[in-house]
């Protein structure tokens, strides 16, 4: 399940979308991606608000939506309209009404419109032109005590994922986080090909426009968009490789 399936479109996703989608949702992927365990370790609870950046067809976002339940909300961000269409279709078929796709402008990118307990970035960080800048903006959309979780491929030759020169090492992600006013609060070591980093705001730091207001409370809260409607937002581009 490597990335050798070009040619690529302007979003750096393969033009043969059907084949690409099949690779992303190949049942064999679960053996190394461990999606249920990944979502379990996010610690989501009923009523939480979360975001999946570079959500692709909803491989993890759908699981997250189930975890937060009808009272919660999950925003699925991607720059590829085909991915947005896929996640919208899958959520509708599954009867999931709390998953809200957001089509990201490839030049401006996107941020979740509400503050989140968890923002997940899986197999997408290596697409960001300026990882530190985007992490800082994402940190500004966290609720008090919220976390950004980055899962991406180790920078070495692997049987899955992009080639090594397209990857971002665990050390480079941690360094970008530090520049964004974040620190590695916890690292999970259960994935065979990827690192799993939980990033938290460094005490005393004020990345982005973060505030202590809990998600969904006060005048700053915004209602989620109707199910299945893609909306634009601010931030950097979120491309999916998953």
In a domain, residue 241? The reply is no
The answer to whether 3 touches 161, Cβ cutoff 8 Å, is yes
pLDDT tens track for 134-150: 999 999 999 999 999 99
E strand residue ranges, the chain: 49-53, 73-78, 99-103, 116-122, 142-153, 182-188, 194-201
Sign, Cα dihedral of 127, 15, 52, 232: positive
E strand residue ranges, 92-137: 99-103, 116-122
In a domain, residue 108? The reply is yes
| pTM of this structure | 0.80
In this structure, what CATH number is given to the domain that contains residue 65?
3.40.50.150
In a domain, residue 72? The reply is yes
In a domain, residue 88? The reply is yes
Residue 82: how many CB atoms within 10 A of its CB?
A: 17
In a domain, residue 162? The reply is yes
Could you tell me which residue, 22 or 115, shows the higher pLDDT? 115
Domain total in the chain: 1
The mean pLDDT value for 40-52 works out to: 98
Q: Where are the alpha helices (DSSP H) in 94-209?
A: 131-139, 170-179
In a domain, residue 239? The reply is no
Domain of residue 73, residue span: 17-201
In a domain, residue 59? The reply is yes
In a domain, residue 126? The reply is yes
**pLDDT > 90: percent of the chain:** 63
The conformation of residue 59, written as its DSSP 8-state character, comes to T
């Amino acid at each position: 399940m490597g990335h050798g399936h070009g040619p690529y479109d302007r979003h750096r996703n393969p033009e043969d979308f059907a084949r690409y989608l099949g690779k992303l949702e190949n049942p064999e992927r679960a053996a190394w991606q461990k999606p249920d365990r990944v979502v379990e370790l996010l610690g989501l609870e009923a009523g939480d608000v979360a975001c999946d950046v570079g959500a692709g067809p909803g491989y993890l976002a759908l699981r997250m939506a189930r975890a937060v339940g009808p009272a919660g909300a999950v925003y699925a961000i991607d720059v590829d309209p085909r991915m947005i269409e896929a996640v919208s279709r899958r959520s509708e078929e599954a009867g999931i009404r709390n998953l809200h796709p957001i089509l990201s402008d490839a030049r401006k990118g996107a941020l979740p419109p509400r503050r989140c307990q968890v923002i997940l970035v899986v197999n997408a960080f290596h697409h960001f032109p300026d990882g530190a800048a985007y992490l800082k903006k994402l940190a500004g959309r966290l609720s008090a005590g919220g976390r950004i979780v980055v899962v991406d491929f180790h920078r070495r030759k692997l049987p899955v994922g992009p080639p090594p020169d397209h990857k971002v090492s665990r050390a480079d992600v941690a360094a970008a986080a530090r520049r964004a006013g974040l620190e590695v609060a916890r690292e999970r070591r259960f994935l065979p090909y990827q690192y799993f980093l939980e990033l938290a705001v460094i005490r005393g730091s004020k990345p982005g426009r973060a505030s202590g207001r809990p998600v969904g409370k006060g005048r700053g809260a915004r209602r989620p968009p109707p199910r299945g409607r893609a909306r634009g937002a601010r931030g950097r581009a979120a491309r999916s490789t998953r």
